[in-house]
């Protein structure tokens, strides 16, 4: 609701085509640390909503247009090289997701997208590689895959 300068109230008119909502975000990852992790699905939903708002879409729970996402693959590959006292670690995070554009209950478009993120660390000491999950690289990869889904569907 807008309050106009003359003191009257007005509801801005929004084109129904501009209304969109993030529908179901499901974690269908079968193997690894994040298999079935509900927090990952909630995080992806938040990323999608933020991206849609950045692209000037109006979010509404009553929208007939939905974006659904299924997370199907998540993996972190650790690659390390050592030469004498020099050590280099490369961690590559890969995420694959399926995005669907649903309009009035019918799937109109489907896309499969892959997002990757790379972290490189070097040192002059031998460092033990523990293969732990890196939150920052996962977040970057998730944002990349969500952005690709939105751009391809819309």
pTM more than 0.85: no
pLDDT at 127: 41
| CA distances from residue 5 to 2, 8, 9, 10 in whole angstroms, order as listed | 10, 7, 9, 11
Percent of the chain with pLDDT over 90: 49
pLDDT at 39 over 80: yes
Q: Which of 147, 154, 146, 109 minimizes the C-alpha distance to 19?
A: 154
CATH number of 2-153: 3.40.50.10610
Three-state secondary-structure class, residue 138: helix
pLDDT at 74 over 60: yes
């Amino acid at each position: 609701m807008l309050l106009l300068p003359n003191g009257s109230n007005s509801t801005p008119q929004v084109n129904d085509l501009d209304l969109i909502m993030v529908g179901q975000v499901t974690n269908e990852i079968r193997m690894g640390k994040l298999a079935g992790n509900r927090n990952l699905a909630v995080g992806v939903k938040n990323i999608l909503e933020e991206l849609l708002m950045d692209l000037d879409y109006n979010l509404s729970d009553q929208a007939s247009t939905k974006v659904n996402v299924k997370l199907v693959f998540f993996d972190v590959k650790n690659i390390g090289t050592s030469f004498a006292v020099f050590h280099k670690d490369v961690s590559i995070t890969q995420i694959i997701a399926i995005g669907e554009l649903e309009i009035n209950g019918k799937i109109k478009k489907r896309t499969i997208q892959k997002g990757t993120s790379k972290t490189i660390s070097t040192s002059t000491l031998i460092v033990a590689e523990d293969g732990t999950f890196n939150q920052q690289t996962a977040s970057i990869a998730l944002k990349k895959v969500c952005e690709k889904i939105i751009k391809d569907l819309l």
